[in-house]
């Protein structure tokens, strides 16, 4: 039985709405109690496991184990399309966990309201977002298999964004197992292997023919996604454990888009569904990223210079969808790659943490100007795997001649000569990847190989290939600009582990950007990149000059004002920094990073605490997932000696970022000031575990 509205759970969550009820418990919408004045109410969803007194001990243990497994899975997931776990707790003998509240409606509810097939293009765009979330969980180590993907577990927010909910029967893939421990799920959307085995096409599963033992893996979620699309586009649940026949989906929804390929009329989205719902996992899409690419190709107005053949019902049959060129992407399950500085941000970030650039779909690669660019997917940048090339280069096993760079510092440098300058740590020379005999003499082939390596974040190989392109005659702006980007991104990748190698690469990056600018002085991105390199090297005069040249090219770019403000503040020129930040906010009032930087400056200035708190509250309202905003807000409240407000803001930061030593030491200081010494000791312990040199934590430890 559901708890009454107004009930307070765990001393901090007040129930305001019942979101759903089931036999094993209830999901509530709750409001957090004790938020600072001026901040809007913050809501969570609380999931309850209610165990009946009549439940057998075996079923009770099984339910608690499954509930705890869901908590353990969610604890490690941080993705904008997955509701985040906040806090597990127990109360009144029942088990609960609080998680991010997702406003909106499930696709199941939308189907019930619409009472008919949903618009094709809208469904495709939603499913592309689902693929992004699946790519993220499938690339965890070990992979996480959702196992219950269906319309009821896909939420659509008021902003038309997808969120996956209910990881209740998700499991971690175990390569050592032959089958699942439990076979659960909703039968209409479950793959054949959900039953523990698969049979050959046309055969029935019987005691005499149990089929081949298998366990669910990432491809099982592909089947469920295809089945979900079938339901959304036809308003019919798919037949359980069946692959739809050719033409059957189009027959149920004749409005689906078709294209003419030769003398054939095909429905691209139907072909994708059929492939996803193959009985044999080997015949399906082998990854969520592969299905995302195919779905993107199904959108109207996509260029189709060639076709991609996709296995269908038999190995000899094919189905076809339009192909596309290389797409922009994010990498390795992380967040968006900044198109200016190449920094890989956290999932869901709206602005690049390093340069303040608004984040859009796209990798940080400057393509040759003479090549037409493929259309970008009109969705926000989200974590997906490396883009699939429509026509990969076939290579022969011959080695390309290693290239020297006229004394420049290599990304993985060789042992230095006795009279050489300071080099990064010596390693073995890197051989270029094999290319065809024709490609050896073709600078464009090396350039393309460099861009592919840069997309895959193989920075040493990208550097080698761009250098090879230069020696083969591609001494142009694009080659120099991308060589600078490769050096810069390699430097960022080793920043925490090897400061010397980081600095060497930054110097090389700045050098190549300057060379590129000699060829094309009005290249805004190269000017910006040059400024970023100089700022990282703490060469503030050069950095300021580069950003001012960028400002002359783009006087209304808030990212440039943000960088100029940072350069000024890092030199202690606070008045100049505030002027730049305010100018950036005039152009982009919702620029959260500028608001945080401005609030941080105000916090350190006399008589500016109200302005600091106002700026930081504004930043957290714009981007609640920006942990630095909550952290700086907590620091501002600490300076105002508003300890409880400070703790509330710091707790919000801790929900997002759990590895910052300074965050724990700030909380320790607050606890010490409100006389909660045991909590302060715990926070000091957490801080020193992450940074044994944390001065604030050491000071508080002495006081305790």
Instruction: Assign 238 to helix, strand or coil.
Output: coil
Residue found by looking up tokens 């019919």 in the block: 236
Place of tokens 């783009």: 554
What is the SS3 assignment for 337?
Answer: strand
DSSP conformational letter for 29? E
Give CA torsion, residues 83, 85, 88, 93, to 10 deg. 10
Displacement of CA 254 from its chain's centroid (Å): 36
Cβ count within 10 A of residue 305: 11
Contact 528, 547 (CB under 8 A): yes
User: Measuring CA to CA, how many Å separate 632 from each of 573, 602, 605, 612, 629?
Assistant: 20, 11, 14, 9, 5
Compute φ and ψ for 392, nearest 5 degrees: -65, 150
Tokens of 530: 């040059």
Q: Find out whether 324 and 390 touch, Cβ atoms under 8 Å.
A: yes
Q: Torsions phi, psi of 259, nearest 5?
A: -135, 160
**Angle of the 609-622 helix axis to the 627-639 helix axis, nearest 10:** 160
CB-CB contact of 664 with 50 (8 Å):
no
Spell out the residues 6+ positions from residue 83 whose beta carbon is closer than 8 angstroms to its own.
45, 74, 99, 100, 101, 102, 155, 163, 164, 165
CB atoms within 10 A of CB 121: 14
Place of tokens 């165990």: 51
The two three-digit tokens of residue 59, written as one number: 């079923």
Whether the Cβ atoms of residue 291 and residue 222 lie closer than 8 Å to each other: yes
Best CA proximity match to 643, nearest among 679, 611, 615: 679
Q: Is 340 among the annotated ligand-binding positions?
A: no
Determine contact, residues 684/652, Cβ cutoff 8 Å: no
* 434 CA to centre of own chain: 32
The DSSP bridge partners found for residue 266 are 259
d(CA 431, CA 440): 14
Contacts for 686 with CB less than 8 Å, ≥ 6 apart: 664
Helices assigned H by DSSP within 494-539 = 499-519, 524-536
> Which alpha helices (DSSP H) does 206-279 contain, by range?
218-234, 248-252, 268-276
| Binding site per annotation, positions | 47
| Binding site per annotation, positions for ATP | 47
């Amino acid at each position: 039985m559901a708890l009454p509205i107004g009930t307070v759970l765990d001393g901090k969550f007040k129930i305001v709405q019942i979101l759903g009820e089931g036999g094993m418990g209830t999901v509530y919408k709750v409001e957090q109690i004790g938020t600072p004045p001026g901040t809007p109410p913050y809501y969570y969803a609380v999931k309850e496991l209610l165990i009946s007194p009549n439940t057998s001990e075996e079923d009770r243990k099984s339910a608690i184990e499954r509930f705890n497994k869901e908590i353990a899975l969610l604890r490690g997931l941080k993705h904008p399309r997955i509701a985040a776990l906040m806090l597990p707790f127990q109360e009144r003998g029942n088990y609960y966990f609080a998680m991010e509240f997702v406003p909106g409606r499930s696709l199941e509810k939308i189907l019930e309201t619409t009472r008919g097939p949903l618009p094709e293009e809208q469904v495709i765009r939603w499913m592309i977002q689902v693929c992004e979330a699946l790519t993220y969980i499938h690339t965890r180590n070990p992979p996480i298999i959702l196992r219950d993907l269906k319309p009821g577990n896909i939420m659509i927010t008021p902003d038309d964004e997808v969120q996956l909910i209910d990881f209740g029967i998700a499991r971690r893939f175990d390569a050592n197992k032959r089958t699942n421990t439990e076979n659960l799920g909703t039968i209409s959307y479950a793959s054949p292997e959900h039953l523990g085995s698969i049979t050959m096409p046309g055969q029935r599963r019987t005691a005499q023919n149990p089929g081949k033992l298998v366990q669910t893996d990432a491809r099982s979620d592909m089947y469920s996604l295809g089945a979900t699309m079938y339901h959304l586009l036809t308003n019919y649940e798919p037949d359980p454990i069946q692959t739809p026949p050719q033409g059957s989906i189009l027959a149920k929804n004749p409005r689906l888009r078709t294209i003419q390929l030769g003398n054939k009329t095909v429905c691209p989205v139907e072909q994708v569904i059929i492939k996803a719902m193959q009985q044999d996992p080997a015949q399906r899409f082998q990854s969520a990223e592969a299905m995302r690419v195919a779905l993107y190709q199904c959108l109207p107005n996509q260029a189709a210079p060639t076709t991609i053949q996709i296995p269908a019902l038999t190995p000899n049959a094919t189905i076809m969808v339009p192909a596309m060129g290389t797409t922009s992407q994010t990498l390795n399950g992380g967040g968006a790659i900044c198109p200016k500085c190449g920094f890989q941000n956290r999932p869901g970030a709206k602005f690049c943490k390093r340069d303040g650039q608004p984040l859009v779909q796209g990798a940080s690669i400057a393509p040759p100007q003479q090549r037409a660019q493929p259309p970008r997917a009109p969705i926000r940048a989200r974590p997906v795997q490396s883009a699939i090339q429509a026509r990969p280069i076939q290579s022969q096993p011959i080695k390309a001649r290693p290239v020297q760079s006229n004394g420049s510092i290599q990304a993985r440098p060789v042992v230095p000569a006795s009279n050489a300058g300071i080099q990064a740590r010596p390693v073995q020379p890197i051989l270029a990847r094999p290319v065809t005999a024709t490609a050896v003499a073709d600078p464009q082939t090396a350039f393309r190989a460099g861009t592919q390596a840069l997309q895959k974040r193989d920075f040493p190989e990208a550097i080698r290939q761009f250098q090879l392109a230069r020696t083969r005659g591609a001494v142009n702006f694009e080659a120099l600009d991308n060589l600078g980007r490769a050096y810069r991104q390699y430097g960022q990748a080793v920043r925490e582990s090897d400061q010397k190698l980081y600095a060497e690469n930054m110097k090389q990056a700045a050098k190549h950007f300057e060379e590129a600018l000699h060829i094309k002085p009005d290249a805004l991105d190269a000017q910006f990149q040059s400024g970023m390199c100089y700022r990282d090297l703490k060469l503030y005069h050069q950095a300021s000059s580069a950003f001012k040249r960028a400002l002359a090219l783009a006087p209304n770019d808030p990212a440039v004002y943000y960088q100029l403000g940072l350069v000024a503040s890092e030199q202690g020129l606070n008045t100049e920094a505030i002027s730049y930040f305010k100018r950036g906010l005039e152009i982009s009032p919702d620029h959260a990073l500028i608001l945080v930087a401005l609030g941080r400056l105000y916090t350190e200035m006399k008589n500016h605490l109200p302005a600091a708190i106002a700026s930081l509250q504004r930043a957290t309202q714009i981007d609640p997932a920006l942990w630095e905003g909550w952290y700086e807000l907590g620091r501002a409240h600490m300076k105002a000696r508003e300890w409880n407000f400070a703790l509330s803001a710091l707790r919000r930061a801790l929900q997002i970022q759990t590895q910052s030593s300074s965050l724990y030491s700030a909380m320790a200081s607050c606890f010490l000031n409100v006389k909660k010494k045991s909590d302060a000791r715990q926070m000091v312990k957490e801080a020193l575990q992450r940074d044994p040199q944390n001065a604030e934590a050491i000071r508080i430890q002495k006081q305790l």
